[in-house]
A = this chain, B = another copy of it.
Amino acid sequence: MTTLQKTITIEPKRKGFHLITREIVRNLPEIEEIKAGILVLNIQHTSASITINECADPEVRTDMENFFKRYVPENEPYFEHTYEGSDDMPAHIKASIIGTSITIPVTNGKLNLGTWQGIYLGEHRNSGGSRRIIATIMG
């Protein structure tokens, strides 16, 4: 069994959910060597998230962003952590609701995702900048 780790830098994206499956796979040709194992992705930020969801209809990502905009609103009167901007505290909350790490099975050299599954980056800041993901492959 082997373990490989790599840092993947995702270029800045606007606020919202973004499908990054191809970008991840393109950065990890080593996956092709793994017969059975796992890929662990950790985003190294606290105001962005990573999750698995539908890869077909982009409206799913728009609706998801609009849902979280309403249910994790900005400018809640009780927020104390406000000095980094009104988008910051909701971004932290979304990071813990959605998650900052995913583990994906790898089988016969490919990510073993369901037909409609893709990897989403959740950018929760208005100007989050580039986002760093640590990829750990074991198998």
Interface residues of A (CB under 8 A from B): 1-5, 36-38, 40, 42-46, 51-54, 57, 59-60, 62-64, 66-67, 70-72, 76, 78-81, 89, 92-93, 95-105, 107, 112-117, 120, 132, 134, 136, 138-139
20 contacts between A and B (CB under 8 A): A3-B36, A3-B138, A38-B136, A42-B103, A42-B104, A42-B105, A44-B114, A44-B117, A46-B52, A46-B114, A52-B100, A54-B92, A57-B81, A59-B81, A60-B92, A63-B79, A70-B76, A71-B71, A105-B136, A138-B138
Partner of A136 from the list B36, B54, B80, B120 (CB cut-off 8 Å) is B36
Quick check: A81 and B96 within 8 Å, CB to CB? Answer: no
Quick check: A38 and B138 within 8 Å, CB to CB? Answer: yes
Evaluate whether A5 and B36 lie within 8 angstroms (CB atoms) in the complex, with A53-B96, A89-B63 already known. yes
Quick check: B5 and A96 within 8 Å, CB to CB? Answer: no
